[in-house]
Chains A and B, each alone.
Chain A
Amino acid sequence: MSTAPARVSRRHLALAAAALLALLAACGASTTPSGTTGTAGSDSAPAGGTVTVLAAASLTESFDALARDFEAANPGVSVETSYGSSATLVQQVNNGAPASVLALAGTSAAEPLDPSLRKDTRTFATNSLEIATPPDDPGNVTSISDLAVPTVKVVLCADTVPCGAAAQATFRKARIVPNVVSHEVDVKATLAKVKLGEADAAVVYRSDVVAAKDAVRGVEIPPQLNTTLAYPVITLTDDAATRAFVAYLLSPAGLATVQSFGFDAP
């Protein structure tokens, strides 16, 4: 009689322990480099596996398309993408986030990356800055000098992330002090404030203006004032699926996909 409750709790304990073990196992599995080794030597036909891609927020649309095309061409391989500011992604990788490929906005964003993690680095695109305004242009923005008008609410990326640093460089060249109301954490958050109509202008990448289609209006920044960033792709794991993905990105088809979203050739 008195042992019955004990047996129940023992069963519960076993259940809890099993759940805990499963949890630990899952954590353990996810910290090992993802992707299985396919047929040795043949980069074009990986047997399967997962490629985990961490990419700069500005690459959201182009890498979504790239991942779709790559998965269609390589059945059995799945691509998992995660987007954020380049600075955040580098911190995540340094702190052990499981990733096979890291694609960043600007080479300087890669400087804090632990050098021992880096297997290979290639430049696959360049990007320049452009001003985005809401389609109805409430602030009457026709050139970069309009961003200094006190009634024009300007949103920039924080200067810790590449788009913010690039915007600051451009404003220094143009000798303009913009009327900034917020420093957002990444370029998509910056663009969102314009898409929602809360800000009159944002300095984002040309690719973001292209990707946003009709949701924003673009205002060009002259080349002599503009800041161009080179986008590096960094290979972090050495497996067939990852090699195949990077090779696809650097292939003419992959580069064409990226460039169709407003990026320029490397």
Chain B
Amino acid sequence: MTSTAGLGPGPRRGAGPPTRNAGRWRTRVVLGVPAALALLLLVVPLVALLLQADWARIPSDLATPTVLPALRLSLTTTSITAVLCLLLGTPLAWFLARSDHPATSWARALLTVPLVLPPVVGGVALLMTWGRNGLIGQHLAPFGIQIPFTTVAVVLAETFVAMPYYVLAVEASMRGLDPRLESVARTLGAGDLRYLRTVAVPLVLPGIASGLALAWARALGEFGATITFAGNFPGRTQTLPLLVYVELERDPQVAISISIMLLAVSVLVLGVLRGRWLR
């Protein structure tokens, strides 16, 4: 199965000279073996998860009282994160796509830092910002506003890790717009915002959708920043990945069942988005 997947239905050019044919086979083997290995490295763990599952137990495992609140919390916080990305990230992507100012490339470089930062470090940074003694948090505390250990903290952690994915995806798709479209729109009397609303946004809609899907999936899987910054409390900050971690110590089978549900939810959402937007 893997060998055919690695080789693919290459173009058949009829009977070439034997040496060329041999060269082609060598290339196929040289590329095909690592390609098949890459595929195995990615697919085998998912298959192992499915094989390890006790399918008959999944319904009762998912009825564990901690699962429903965690699922609800995960869906709520990731949806809010997606909306925040849409509302705040789209304008940022627009500025990044249009400007060639040196400050823009600096902004873009800064944006990629959360992308490569270990999420736990992100969680510490968020504590240093929004915590009771943090940069911003210390000014909120006198008003009785405390962010850590709340659902707001979960959303902040998810937005911190997910927003860069969204902005970079949308920026790339905005850069792909034909600049002549904008000058035509201007000669027809459209201002910046009107051009954006009637021309640019509809054209980059697939980019926005794929950015949202990426950001949403990243937010759904977020663990490190959440447990560091928001803590772990059922119904308030315990999202599905945190529940998987805790249940692994109590009952690994429940953890596997939840993991399969997470896998199914992610595949479902990405599948729906792909079918509608990302052909």
Contact B26 A9 (CB under 8 A): yes
Q: In the complex the two chains form, is A182's CB within 8 Å of B131's CB? A: no
- Residue of B whose beta carbon sits closest to that of A90: B249
- Nearest residue (CB) in B for A3 is B23
Inter-subunit contact B131/A185 (CB<8 Å): no
Flag the segment in B6-14, B91-99, B201-209, B225-233 that touches A.
B225-233
B231 A10 Cβ-Cβ under 8 A: no
Is B232 a contact partner of A183 (Cβ separation < 8 A)? yes
| Residue pair B231, A181 in contact (C-beta under 8 Å) | yes
Q: How far is the CB of A195 from chain B (nearest CB, A)?
A: 11
User: Once the chains bind, are B231 and A88 in contact (CB under 8 Å)?
Assistant: no
Q: Name the distance in Å between B15's Cβ and chain A's nearest Cβ.
A: 17
Q: Verify if B210 is at the interface (C-beta below 8 Å from A).
A: no
Q: Does A217 contact B (CB under 8 A)?
A: no
Contact between A155 and B246, CB atoms less than 8 A apart: no
Within residues 189 to 205 of chain B, which ones have a CB less than 8 A from any CB in chain A?
none
**Chain A, 1-35, CB within 8 A of any chain B CB:** 2-3, 6, 9-10, 12-13, 16
Known contacts A13-B30, A181-B233; decide if A160 and B246 are in contact (CB<8 Å).
yes
In the complex, are the beta carbons of B249 and A198 less than 8 A apart? no
Within 8 A of A (CB), among B218-260: 227, 230-234, 237-238, 245-246, 248-250, 252
Question: Which of these, B19, B23, B133, contacts A197 with CB under 8 Å?
Answer: B133
Contact indicator A196/B34 (Cβ below 8 Å): no
Looking at chain A's contact residues, the main secondary structure is mixed
Tell me the count of chain B residues lying within 8 A, CB to CB, of chain A.
Answer: 28
Cβ-defined partner of B249 (8 Å) among A6, A91, A182: A91
Select which of A6, A12, A155 is within 8 A of B231 by beta carbon. A155
**B132 contacts A198, CB within 8 Å?**
yes
Residue of B nearest to A153 (CB): B149
B21-52 CB contacts (< 8 Å) to partner A: 23, 26-27, 30, 33-34
A197 CA / B131 CA spacing, docked (Å): 8
Q: How far is the CB of B249 from chain A (nearest CB, A)?
A: 4
Q: Given A88-B249, A160-B249, A185-B227, verify A2-B232 contact (CB < 8 Å).
A: no
Q: Is A184 an interface residue (CB 8 A)?
A: yes
A6 contacts which of B23, B34, B248 (Cβ < 8 Å)? B23
Complex CA–CA separation, A115 to B160 (angstroms): 44
Per the bound structure, the CA–CA distance linking A16 and B83 in Å amounts to 44
User: For the complex, is A193 an interface residue (Cβ under 8 Å from B)?
Assistant: yes
A104 interfacial by beta-carbon distance below 8 Å: no
Q: Say yes or no for B164: interface residue by CB 8 A criterion.
A: no
Question: Could you say which of A3, A9, A161, A196 has the most chain B C-beta atoms within 10 Å of its C-beta?
Answer: A196
Give the complex CA separation of A158 and B237 in angstroms. 13
Min CB distance, A180 to chain B, in Å? 7
B85 on the A face (CB < 8 A): no
Are A182's CB and B127's CB within 8 A? no
Distance of A142 from chain B, by nearest CB (Å)? 21
Question: A234: CB under 8 A from chain B?
Answer: no
Q: In the complex where A2-B19, A182-B231, A185-B227 touch, is A161 in contact with B131 (Cβ < 8 A)?
A: no
User: Is B89 interfacial (CB 8 A cutoff)?
Assistant: no
With A2-B19, A158-B232 as known contacts, state yes or no: A185 contacts B246, CB within 8 Å: yes
- Closest-CB distance, A163 to chain B (whole angstroms): 13
- Chain B residues with Cβ below 8 Å from A161 are 249
Among B113-166, those with CB < 8 Å from A are 127, 131-133, 148-149
Give Cα A85 to B232, complex, Å.
15
**Given A16-B34, A196-B127: A87 and B249 within 8 A (CB)?**
yes
Are the CB atoms of A196 and B30 closer together than 8 Å? no
Judging by beta carbons under 8 Å apart, are B19 and A185 in contact?
no
A91 engages B133 (CB within 8 Å): no
Contact B245 A198 (CB under 8 A): no
Report chain B residues within 8 Å CB of A158: 232, 246, 249
Determine how close the nearest CB of chain A comes to the CB of B131; give it in whole angstroms: 5
Query: Contacts A182-B231, A184-B231, A185-B232; is A198 near B131 (CB within 8 Å)?
Result: yes
Cα–Cα, bound, A185→B227 (Å): 9
Contacts A182-B149, A197-B133, A198-B131: A9 and B30 contacting too (C-beta < 8 A)?
A: yes
Q: Are B246 and A198 in contact (CB under 8 A)?
A: no
Please, which residues of chain B bring their CB within 8 A of the CB of A6? Answer: 23, 26-27
Contact residues in B for A199 (Cβ distance below 8 Å): 149
Q: For window 187-209 of chain A, which residues contact chain B by CB distance below 8 Å?
A: 189, 193, 196-199
Mind listing 19 A-B residue pairs with CB under 8 Å? A2-B23, A9-B30, A10-B26, A12-B30, A13-B30, A13-B33, A91-B252, A158-B246, A158-B249, A160-B246, A160-B249, A180-B233, A182-B232, A183-B231, A183-B246, A184-B232, A185-B246, A196-B131, A198-B133
Given contacts A2-B20, A185-B232, 15 further A-B contacts (CB under 8 A): A6-B23, A9-B26, A12-B30, A85-B249, A91-B249, A155-B231, A182-B232, A183-B232, A183-B246, A184-B232, A185-B245, A193-B231, A196-B131, A198-B131, A198-B132
